[in-house]
Copies of this chain bind each other. A is one copy, B any other.
Amino acid sequence: MESELACPIAPVVDLVFSRWTTPILWTLNEHGRLRFVELERRIGTITPKVLTQRLRQMERDGLVTRTYHPEVPPRVEYEISELGRSLAPVFHGLAEWSKRNLAKVDEARSRYDGTN
């Protein structure tokens, strides 16, 4: 939504790392196709309104596919798309960095706060 000329990855950051998209994508990547309530329950703290919003947006962006089954009660299944799955290496890289360096961040914070 911003120009941010200085940073070429700004658009993809907006796309992939805006609020709730990572938990949704991660969950969908781990558990395959899931129904709305399953997704809701796995993520735990998200409200249905926001979950719908995010899913619509991600469907529009082609990261997620939505399959509607006109039954009663209705059944809707969400699945990560091929495009969404192509983000896996990036996510994996982040997980690795996290494992290696998150402790250092905590140390840095303690040092900065003088609580060492």
Q: Which residues of A are interface residues toward B (Cβ below 8 A)?
A: 2-13, 15-17, 22-23, 26-27, 42-45, 59-63, 83, 86-87, 89-91, 93-95, 97-98, 100-102, 104-105, 107-109, 111-113
| Chain B residues within 8 Å of A4, by CB | 23, 43-45
* A105 and B15 form a contact (CB under 8 A): yes
* A12 and B97 form a contact (CB under 8 A): yes
Q: How many copies does the complex hold?
A: 2
| Chain B residues within 8 Å of A97, by CB | 12, 86-87, 90
Bound-state CA distance A22–B16 (Å) is 13
| Chain B residues within 8 Å of A113, by CB | 60
Q: List 11 A-B contacts (CB under 8 A).
A: A3-B45, A7-B22, A8-B98, A9-B26, A9-B94, A11-B98, A61-B108, A62-B108, A62-B109, A83-B101, A86-B97
